[in-house]
């Protein structure tokens, strides 16, 4: 496929993203000494910035790739929630489907970076389970946009948005619409009914079946997962070993080698994978074509520091 054709296919595709919203904060500094109070580095702060994390990073990737993200989720009615809304507007993403709720805190991940290395991460979150009333509000938002989108993404960070009933509703309604449904999963919510394709990493796939994955038993694992689900395909991400794509009914899986890139930071790489899969499948590309593009996009973002996105021009330049 010509690059210009791919760019045109992605342009304007509407993708509904529903999931856990996270505010990612980065504190950049330098280390010149060790604290006299404890054997830890003293980071002198030089700069700070806020970026979109969780399912909001999926939305940011889709926008960077030329698509139109419709982001559905909830943040707290607190200072961090207000900072999240400010950041999302700055990125040019519609916040009309984002709820601001007093009943939940905004999830914040703060990464301390010194000399291009992450020194530590500070998480502001507590285990929460969204109320039935809040989930019903999100369900209404989802139902309102479903007839106007080309694909649906569930971006699950296990921060409280989803329940089994909620995911069943999303799966059933998306199946009725006949559009691709892509899931970035967490084992706690397995099996994500009616998903078109699910994109677990190695740890998440092991969590589905509560068994360890070895390179020699990947096909066996795929078959076992397919017996327990109604998915059409699985894209297993394997870090430096690339990806493995399995489509229902096939006798073998496709191995996609990782591209040779210097890895600076893997933060957000899974968000880029699911974003490119959604746009590609919404553009009627095959599973294998979509997975190859996702692999290229992942190689772009791991070469960047922090929660990063892959633009359409960066993707095309790497093809």
Phi, psi dihedrals of residue 112, rounded to the nearest 5°:
-95, 120
Can you give the pLDDT at residue 267? Answer: 63
* Contact between 24 and 107 (Cβ < 8 Å): no
Can you give the pLDDT at residue 261? Answer: 62
What's the average model confidence in pLDDT over 150-168?
97
Q: Is 3.40.50.720 the CATH number for 3-20+54-106+126-318?
A: no
Sheet of strand 14-19: strand arrangement: 98-101, 68-76, 14-19, 151-155, 181-184, 197-198, 233-237, 243-247, 254-256
Those residues whose C-beta lies under 8 Å from the C-beta of residue 205, and which sit 6 or more positions away, are 213, 221, 225, 234, 236
The domains of the chain are located at: 3-20+54-106+126-318
DSSP label of 41: E
Can you give the pLDDT at residue 262? Answer: 58
What is the pLDDT of the chain when averaged over all its residues? 93
Confidence tier at 3 by pLDDT (50, 70, 90): confident
Q: b or e along 231-246 (b: 16 or more beta carbons within 10 Å of the residue's beta carbon)?
A: bbbbbbbbeeebbbbb
How far apart are the C-alpha atoms of 269 and 226, rounded to whole Å? 25
For 142-153, what is each residue's pLDDT tens digit?
Answer: 999 999 999 999
Confidence tier at 38 by pLDDT (50, 70, 90): very high
Confidence tier at 47 by pLDDT (50, 70, 90): very high
Those residues whose C-beta lies under 8 Å from the C-beta of residue 144, and which sit 6 or more positions away, are 97
Q: Is residue 53 pLDDT above 80, yes or no? A: yes
Q: Is residue 263 pLDDT above 60, yes or no? A: no
Q: Is residue 74 pLDDT above 70, yes or no? A: yes
For 113-127, what is each residue's pLDDT tens digit?
Answer: 998 888 999 999 887
Residues with catalytic roles = 271
Residue indicated by tokens 């607190």: 78
Q: Is residue 266 pLDDT above 70, yes or no? A: no
């Amino acid at each position: 496929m010509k690059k210009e054709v791919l760019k045109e296919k992605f342009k304007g595709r509407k993708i509904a993203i529903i999931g856990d919203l996270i505010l990612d904060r980065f504190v950049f500094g330098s280390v010149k000494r060790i604290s006299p109070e404890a054997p830890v580095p003293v980071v002198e702060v030089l700069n700070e910035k806020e970026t979109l994390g969780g399912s909001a990073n999926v939305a940011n990737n889709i926008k960077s790739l030329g698509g139109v993200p419709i982001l559905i989720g909830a943040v707290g009615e607190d200072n961090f929630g207000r900072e999240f809304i400010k950041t999302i507007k700055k990125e040019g993403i519609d916040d009309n489907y984002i709820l601001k709720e007093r009943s939940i805190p905004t999830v914040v991940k703060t990464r301390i970076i010194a000399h291009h290395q992450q020194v530590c991460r500070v998480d502001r979150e507590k285990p929460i389970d969204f109320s039935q009333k809040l989930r019903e509000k999100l369900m209404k938002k989802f139902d309102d946009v479903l007839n106007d989108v080309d694909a649906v993404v569930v971006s699950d960070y296990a921060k409280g948005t989803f329940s089994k009933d909620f995911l069943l509703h999303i799966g059933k309604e998306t199946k009725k619409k006949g559009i691709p449904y892509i899931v970035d999963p967490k084992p706690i919510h397995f099996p994500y009914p009616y998903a078109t394709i699910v994109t677990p990493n190695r740890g998440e796939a092991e969590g589905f079946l509560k068994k360890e994955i070895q390179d020699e038993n990947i096909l066996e694992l795929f078959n076992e997962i397919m017996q327990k689900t109604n998915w059409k395909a699985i894209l297993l991400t394997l870090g430096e070993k690339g990806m493995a794509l399995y489509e229902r009914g096939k006798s073998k899986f496709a191995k996609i080698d990782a591209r040779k890139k210097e890895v600076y930071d893997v933060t957000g790489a899974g968000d880029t994978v699911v974003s490119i899969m959604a746009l590609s499948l919404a553009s009627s590309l095959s599973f294998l074509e979509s997975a190859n593009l996702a692999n290229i996009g992942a190689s772009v973002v791991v070469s960047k520091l922090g929660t990063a996105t892959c633009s359409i021009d960066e993707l095309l330049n790497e093809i």
